[in-house]
Amino acid sequence: MNNNTNNTAAPALAAGLTHTSTLTVTDNLTAQVMGSGDMPVLATPAMIALMENAAMLAVAPALQQGDTTVGTLMNATHDRPSPVGATVEATATLTAVEGRKLTFDIQAHDAQGQLIGTATHHRVIVTRDRFLSRVK
């Protein structure tokens, strides 16, 4: 008998897991403020952080308790600008699981559906406590 009160089982850690994260471009997320450029548009580092967030959340429900993921590689393009006030979303799809190494394809779009950036991203599964103990 299963004593789990949650009726939804955690998804298996397998290719196909996906998540979409969304942000609204604010002054604090512009290249001018973040220091990655001098234009009042979405900074590439902010777009990459959104992409990483989508990848992290795509697999989070499938991880064992106490585990998380950390990014190890990001190969991204940022192809279109997004002005302050624009809504941007990044959708990450898990494409490969090789032991603890996870590979994602990520696409970022604006509210009009225009592709603004793409990425291939690697994350590694780590045990949170063990990882943090090495940082100290």
Candidates 19, 22, 36; CA nearest to 116 is: 22
Tell me the CATH architecture of domain 18-135.
Roll (3.10)
What is the pLDDT at residue 8? 64
pTM above 0.85, yes or no: yes
- pLDDT given for residue 1 in this prediction: 43
Domain boundaries along the sequence of the chain: 18-135
Picking from 132, 135, 126, the residue whose alpha carbon sits closest to that of residue 59 is 126
Neighbour-count burial for 63-97, b at 16+ CB within 10 Å, e otherwise: beeebbbebeebebebeeebeeebebbbbbbbeeb
pLDDT digits (tens), the chain, 136 positions = 444 444 567 789 999 999 999 999 999 999 999 999 999 999 999 999 999 999 999 999 999 999 999 999 999 999 999 999 999 999 999 999 999 999 999 999 999 999 999 999 999 999 999 999 999 7
Kindly list the distances between the CA atom of residue 118 and the CA atoms of 1, 13, 27, 124, 132, in Å, as whole numbers in the listed order.
45, 23, 23, 20, 30
User: What are residue 115's DSSP bridge partners?
Assistant: 109
**Pick from 87, 94, 84: nearest CA to 114:** 87
pLDDT value of residue 10: 78
How far is Cα 47 from Cα 9, in angstroms, rounded to an integer? Answer: 31
